[in-house]
């Protein structure tokens, strides 16, 4: 069984550890936990993990967010991974910071990374882990908020949710999507 684990984000120091790059941070935490390392490869930073009889190809696209689909399609084709074994980790403004949602499909909800995937893959029927980032910003400042760093007081909760998201990736691969959804979809995260 082979899985493609995709963290959405933007490359470059100015984007590191911003809300929009939480996909990168989750995949990075998963790769570190399993003692692997990223290499620079075609259209992405890539790490390979073998765990509990499963193979994981973990990518953080280097195409910038709005061209993420290109990288995902390339690695799906190269590694012969089905849509059902794809898991995309993405930031979600519509979810409060206290939430993580795992979904079997769903729209791009205005997210440029998901929009790119949907265009390139020709479907929205693939699993997503949506990491709630909240929407605590003044009208007209969505971009600043999304591309901004976490507030000091948010960091411990974000760290806790990253650890849980890593666990969800493992559950998704070993016990399936439904079990992964049951683990987090109705849970409120708090300190």
Looking at residue 4, its pLDDT comes to: 98
In a domain, 168, yes or no: yes
Using the 8-state DSSP alphabet, how is residue 114 labeled?
Answer: H
Q: Are 28 and 7 in contact (CB under 8 A)?
A: yes
Residue 10 sits in which domain range? Answer: 2-184
Q: What global pTM score does this model have?
A: 0.98
CATH value at residue 143 = 3.40.50.1470
The continuous run of DSSP H or E covering 33 comes out as helix 22-33
Instruction: Give the separation between CA 41 and CA 56, rounded to whole angstroms.
Output: 15
Q: What is the pLDDT of residues 15-38, one digit of tens each?
A: 999 999 999 999 999 999 999 999
Q: Work out the average pLDDT over 115-141.
A: 96
Helix (H, G, I), strand (E, B) or coil at 70: helix
Report how many domains make up the chain: 1
Task: Flag whether 178 is in a domain.
Answer: yes
Does 191 map to a domain? Answer: no
Q: With bands split at pLDDT 50, 70 and 90, how would you rate the model's confidence at 112? A: very high
Q: What pLDDT was estimated at residue 191?
A: 85
Look at residue 190 and tell me if it is in a domain. Answer: no
* Residues carrying an active site annotation: 20
Residue 132 corresponds to which tokens in the numbers above? 């709630």
Residue 7 lies in a domain: yes
Q: What is the pLDDT of residue 22?
A: 98
63 in a domain, yes or no?
yes
């Amino acid at each position: 069984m082979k899985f493609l684990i995709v963290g959405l984000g933007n490359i470059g120091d100015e984007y590191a550890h911003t809300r929009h790059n939480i996909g990168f941070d989750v995949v990075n935490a998963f790769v570190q936990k399993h003692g692997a390392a990223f290499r620079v490869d075609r259209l992405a930073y890539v790490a390979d993990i073998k765990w509990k009889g499963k193979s994981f190809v973990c990518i953080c696209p280097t195409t910038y967010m709005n061209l993420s689909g290109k990288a995902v399609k390339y690695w799906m084709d190269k590694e012969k991974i089905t849509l059902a074994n794809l898991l995309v980790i993405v930031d979600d403004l519509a979810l409060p910071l206290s939430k993580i949602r795992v979904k079997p499909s769903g729209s791009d909800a205005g997210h440029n990374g998901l929009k790119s995937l949907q265009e390139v893959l020709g479907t929205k029927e693939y699993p997503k882990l949506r990491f709630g980032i909240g929407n605590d910003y003044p009208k007209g400042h969505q971009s600043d908020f999304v591309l901004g760093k976490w507030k000091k007081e948010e960091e411990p909760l974000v760290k806790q949710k990253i650890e849980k998201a890593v666990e969800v990736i493992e559950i998704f691969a070993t016990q399936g999507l439904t079990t992964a959804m049951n683990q987090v979809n109705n849970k409120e995260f708090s300190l």
